[in-house]
Amino acid sequence: MKTLGCALILLALAATAHAEDAIAPGRIVDAAIGDWNEDGKPDLALLVAPASDDQADNSICTYIYLRDDEHSLLKLAASAPNKIWGSVEPGGLVGQEPSISALPNGSIAIASQNDSVGRDRWEQTLTLAYRNSSFVVAGYTYASRDTLEPDSSHSCDYNVLTGKVTKDGKALRADARTVSIQDWRDDMGQKACGNDQ
């Protein structure tokens, strides 16, 4: 049922958008439905591939929609271009696809990865939360491994809102921040995790 609902929402978005703002259906990479603002109505989040083929891999755009209180129609609440890395070509590399999902607590998880090229493999997840009418990065999780040196794997979980960091099983502290998805840069998470990037 959710898949049908998502398809109908996506068709409605494509049909009602102005020509200059239209999202071609073929550019939608992934979608999630959840109640981001806890008003009891289903909301929508999308990952959208760049409009042209010559864009960099990290130019995937995130669009987040909330229901309008008065008409129960979806309205764009946040857009964040060039935040997510990944391969989005239908015939592209397996193991580099980004994804977006709804978490049980009403947050949004956006995952990216490189599990196919080179010896340096990694996974990253941004957790977005709706706070004070804005979508902020509440969490940053990063794990890496070297395929030639299995003992050199690392993991880090950074609660951006509280500053709590767990790196390779050890508790650390970093700056507590309130950063919107539009202002987020991955080097913020890497710095909190003590990684050079």
Burial of 89 (0-12, 13-18, 19+ CB in 10 A): exposed
**Using CA atoms, how far apart are residues 184 and 181, in angstroms rounded to an integer?**
5
**Averaged pLDDT of the chain:** 84
**Using CA atoms, how far apart are residues 130 and 117, in angstroms rounded to an integer?**
34
What pLDDT sits at residue 1? Answer: 46
Q: Quote the percentage of the chain above a pLDDT of 70.
A: 82
* pTM of the shown model: 0.84
79-100 pLDDT per residue, tens: 999 888 887 776 666 778 899 9
Confidence of residue 21 (pLDDT cuts 50, 70, 90): low
Give phi and psi for 124, each to the nearest 5: -140, 140
Tell which wins on pLDDT, 88 or 55: 88
Question: What are the helix and strand counts (H, E) for the chain?
Answer: 2, 11
